[in-house]
Structure 1
Amino acid sequence: MNDILPSAARIGWIGTGRMGYAMAARLLGAGYDVAVWNRTRAKAEPLAEVGATIADTIAELAERDVVFTMVSTSADLAEVTMGDGGVLRQEGVAPRILVDSSTVDIEVSADVRAAAAKLGTAFVAAPVSGNGRVADAGRLSIVASGPEDAFRAVQPYLSAIGRGVTYAGEGEVARLVKICHNIFLGVVTQALAEVTVLAEKGGVSRAAFLSFLNGSVMGSTFTRYKTPAFVNLDLTPTFTPVLLRKDFDLGMDAAHTLAVPMPVASLTHQLIRTAIGHGHVDEDFAVLLTEQAKAAGLTLVPEHVAVTDGLEEE
């Protein structure tokens, strides 16, 4: 297949949370040999039913050809790679390629890249856009950066996980792409909340307004996907305000470093922080809609209308 990996590469996977589980399942469904580890073993064990090997320690994955990581924070990535017992701390053995799909800060990613390089391990940053349900449907978008030959070697695995894979260049540029994406996600959600509340306060149901919007040139995969949450107020978390704030924190830091004014994003950042201050930490970030309604003196109730999220339609 390439000069870096054998034709039947063995894959290791670290992190089987909401996203990691779905992504690892996609690889298993494509027939790949995957061993998985998670801090809470019980969250990984159901993958054994679809062919995964469950590892007791991260050390067991170090001899795998490719190791993916999908963890929650920059500190988690540093721990599972460079920490005691990490995949880059095993004597005499290390994966040929390490692929990280987490959303982490550029500095930690660069540290992991440098630690991997000392062992002869190529590091590919490959953050994703989507959530567990999108991953289940094979609809994730992935942006990658790092050595191009390493990216080409793992591209078939990335393509099995998501439908869109973009190579952005060397180093950590994929991290910046993902941060910019998630800032846009927050800004669009806040704007969608504002116009939806404006329409409803003027007497238009959310279902009717969003039906019109989704059929117009302003409609998108995202507006359709968020329509059930907006219409029926199902705030089961796909991505929490706390996680969105983390990405905005990273984005505002990047904007400061690069001297880029971000007035709209800065205001959205404050609104996300306000939602968290009001106790919305475990709900979906669509709670920005109910926060906007309260600011407008409007109390929302579920409309109980059957609306599609669009995932099954494309």
Structure 2
Amino acid sequence: MTATHSLGWIGMGRMGFPMAERLLKAGHKVAIWNRTRAKAEPLAANGGRIADRLDELAACDIVFSMVSTGNDLEQIYFGPNGLLAGSGRRPKILVDCSSIGVDESEAIASRLKEIGCAFVRAPVSGNGKCVKAGKLSSVVSGPKDAFETIAPYLKVIAASGISYVGEGELARICKIAHNVMLGVVFQNLLEITILAQKAGVPRHAFLDFMNASVMGSVFTKYKSNALVNLDWTTTFTAPLLRKDLDLGLQAARELGVAMPITATAREALQAHIGAAYLQGDPAGYLAKDFATLLESVARNAGMTLAPENVPTPTGLETEG
């Protein structure tokens, strides 16, 4: 695909790296900045131009970002050494793929409007493996004309599909709702898996049945290997999931929506995070994948888990 706009990318975490990599592999020239330069340097082999300073990306037409928090995004845009700190050129469109709160996003959008930058909110669904397998999706809101401009590039990243839902912060609401469902569904999946195991059903056999049924999904399938073999390789952490459940409950309070199931799932997650301090290395344990929640559910059932060592497909075969 031939690029018609100059592109910039900010953020080389578990998601940002493979997302930017897809643009490069599709033939686009991308200027890349990351706080730790070494994390971005491998993409130079794919044609990425590694920037030493954020303001080097200000000359790009479109700049994507994928960071952890709203505060991170604010500093990257408006901080003393941020993208927009200088008085020179500005990107025409800023596209943020992060998961941040509605209030944070609104404040950032207001500041960007004052300086004439269009702001597209494009949070994504999936993890790094989904990106590589071409199964990432995105929900988008913001100015319609800006969306239409960035859509060809976003489709490269979110190959499974992009959904435009309207103006303003509507994509943030959709992403928060999405991650609330993730937390609730996953908590229930863990509970029924332990229920079946305590009755004598191996985890791999139960999850195989669930994934083949109408209740199975892409999500339950790709998390099954972790649950069967206790593979806690990080895709998403429990503290980040707690942040998203808190955002969902905050939105529910503001909009007057009762969400008792979400509140219960949030408390189960908090109990898991609290129990991590009994592990002796809470920071290390909580940096593992949120699938470690299975251990808390098992412990509450009086069980100690062991890997079943059964090869379990995830359905996320990487694209060639």
What pairs with 1:125-274 in structure 2 (closer than 5 Å)?
A: 125-162=121-158, 163-274=160-271
Secondary structure, counterpart of 1:300 in structure 2: coil
Does residue 17 of the first structure (1) align with residue 13 of the second (2)? yes
Deviation of the 1:277 alpha carbon:
1.1
- Aligned residue pairs total 309
Contact 1:72 1:102 in 2 (8 A): yes
Contact 1:275 1:288 in 2 (8 A): yes
Deviation of the 1:236 alpha carbon:
1.1
TM-score by length of 2: 0.94
Deviation of the 1:92 alpha carbon:
2.6
Distance (Å, rounded) in 1 between the aligned partners of 2:226 and 2:314? 9
| % identity of equivalent residues | 53
TM-score by length of 1: 0.96
Which amino acid counterpart does residue 237 of structure 1 have in structure 2?
A: T
Secondary structure, counterpart of 1:291 in structure 2: helix
Distance (Å, rounded) in 1 between the aligned partners of 2:256 and 2:8? 39
Contact 1:9 1:33 in 2 (8 A): no
Which amino acid counterpart does residue 307 of structure 1 have in structure 2?
A: T
Does residue 116 of the first structure (1) align with residue 116 of the second (2)? no
Does residue 285 of the first structure (1) align with residue 282 of the second (2)? no
Segments of 5+ residues of structure 1 without an aligned counterpart are: 1-5
Contact 1:26 1:138 in 2 (8 A): no
Name the counterpart of 2:312: 307
- Which of 44, 60, 74 pairs up with 2:70? 74
RMSD between aligned residues: 1.4
Distance (Å, rounded) in 2 between the aligned partners of 1:54 and 1:130? 26
Name the counterpart of 2:282: none
Name the counterpart of 1:106: 102
Contact 1:82 1:112 in 2 (8 A): no
Name the counterpart of 1:83: 79
Distance (Å, rounded) in 1 between the aligned partners of 2:213 and 2:134? 25
Does residue 26 of the first structure (1) align with residue 22 of the second (2)? yes
Which amino acid counterpart does residue 202 of structure 2 have in structure 1?
A: S
Distance (Å, rounded) in 1 between the aligned partners of 2:135 and 2:146? 23
Deviation of the 1:313 alpha carbon:
9.4
Distance (Å, rounded) in 2 between the aligned partners of 1:70 and 1:311? 22
Name the counterpart of 1:3: none
Contact 1:88 1:115 in 2 (8 A): no
Does residue 95 of the first structure (1) align with residue 91 of the second (2)? yes
Distance (Å, rounded) in 2 between the aligned partners of 1:135 and 1:276? 28
Distance (Å, rounded) in 1 between the aligned partners of 2:214 and 2:264? 26
Deviation of the 1:174 alpha carbon:
0.4
Does residue 42 of the first structure (1) align with residue 38 of the second (2)? yes
Deviation of the 1:7 alpha carbon:
6.2
Distance (Å, rounded) in 2 between the aligned partners of 1:254 and 1:119? 29
Question: Which stretch shows the higher mean deviation, 169-178 or 109-118?
Answer: 109-118
Secondary structure, counterpart of 1:124 in structure 2: strand
Contact 1:189 1:288 in 2 (8 A): no
Secondary structure, counterpart of 1:278 in structure 2: helix
Contact 1:129 1:142 in 2 (8 A): yes
